[in-house]
Amino acid sequence: MSSPRRSAVLSGAHFMDGNHAACEGAIAAGANFAAGYPITPSTEIVERFASRAPLVGATFLQMEDELASSIAILGAAWGGAKAFTVTSGPGFSLMMEHIGFAAMTETPCVFVNVQRGGPSTGLPTLPAQADMMQARWGSHGDYEIIALCPNSPQECFNLMIDAFNFSEQYRNPVLLMMDESVGHMTEKVVIPPADQIDIIPRRYTSKAPSEYLPFKPASDDVPEMARVGEGYHFHVTGLTHDEHGYPSMEWQTQEALVGRLVGKIRAHADDLTRTEEKQLEDAEIVLVAYGISSRVALWALQKAREEGLRVGLLRPIVVWPFPEKRIRELAQRVKAFVVVELNYGQMVREVERAAAGRARTILVPHAGGAVHPPESIVKVLREVGS
Partner 1 sequence: MSVMVPFNPVEPFLRSERMPHIWCSGCGIGTTVNCFARALAESKLPLDKVAIVSGIGCTGRVAGYLNLDSFHTTHGRAIPFATGLKLANPELTVVVYSGDGDLIAIGGNHFIHAARRNVDIKVICINNFIYGMTGGQVAPTTPVGATATTAPYGCFERPFNLPYLAESSGAVYVARWTAYHVRYIAHSMAEALRKKGFSFIEILAPCPTLYQRRNKLGDGLETMRYYKQHSVIRHGANTRDLNLDFQGEITLGKFVDIERPTLQQTMGQRFRQVLRERYAG
201 touching partner 1, by CB under 8 A: no
Stretch that binds partner 1, among 62-70, 195-203, 261-269, 311-319 (CB under 8 A): 62-70
The CA-based dihedral angle spanning residues 354, 360, 365, 370, taken in that order and rounded to the nearest 10 degrees? -90
Q: Is 10 in the site for partner 1 (CB under 8 A)?
A: no
For the bound state, the minimum distance from the C-beta of residue 51 to partner 1, rounded and expressed in Å, comes to: 10
Q: Among 122, 124, 217, 238, indicate the residue that binds partner 1 (CB under 8 A).
A: 238
Closest C-alpha among 139, 160, 131 to residue 148: 160
Binding to partner 1 by residue 61, rule CB under 8 A?
yes
Contact segment (CB under 8 A) with partner 1 among 53-61, 128-136, 182-190, 284-292 equals: 53-61
For residue 60, give the 3-state DSSP assignment. Answer: strand
Q: Which stretch binds partner 1 (CB under 8 A): 96-104, 112-120, 279-287, 290-298?
A: 96-104
Does residue number 125 form part of the binding site for partner 1 (CB under 8 A)?
no
Angstrom distance (rounded) from CA 270 to CA 308: 34
| Number of other CB atoms surrounding residue 72 within 10 Å | 21
- DSSP sequence for 76-108: HHHTT--EEEEE-HHHHHHHHHHHHHHHHHT--
One-letter amino acid at 246 equals: Y
246 binds partner 1 (CB under 8 A): yes
Which SS3 state, helix, strand or coil, does residue 299 take? helix
Size of the site for partner 1 (CB under 8 A): 45
**Alpha carbons 72 and 54: distance in angstroms, whole number:** 18
Q: Which stretch binds partner 1 (CB under 8 A): 60-68, 110-118, 344-352, 355-363?
A: 60-68
Query: CA separation (Å) from 134 to 80, 175, 286?
Result: 28, 11, 25
Among 190, 228, 267, 356, binds partner 1 (CB under 8 A): 228
Q: Does 56 bind partner 1 (CB under 8 A)?
A: yes
Least gap, CB of 5 to partner 1 (angstroms): 9
User: DSSP 3-state assignment of 138?
Assistant: coil
Burial of 276 (0-12, 13-18, 19+ CB in 10 A): middle
68: contact with partner 1 by CB under 8 A: yes
72 lines the binding site for partner 1 (CB under 8 A): yes
Q: Which of 16, 28, 83, 185 binds partner 1 (CB under 8 A)?
A: 83
Q: Which of 66, 71, 60, 57 is nearest to 35 (CA)?
A: 60
233 in contact with partner 1 (CB under 8 A):
yes
Part of the chain binding partner 1 (CB under 8 A), chosen from 69-77, 159-167, 297-305, 331-339: 69-77
Among 1, 13, 64, 120, binds partner 1 (CB under 8 A): 64
Distances (CA, A) of 14 to 75, 151, 152, 272: 33, 17, 13, 29
* Interface residues toward partner 1, by CB under 8 A: 7, 32-33, 35, 54-57, 59, 61, 63-65, 67-69, 71-81, 83, 97-98, 101, 228-239, 246-247
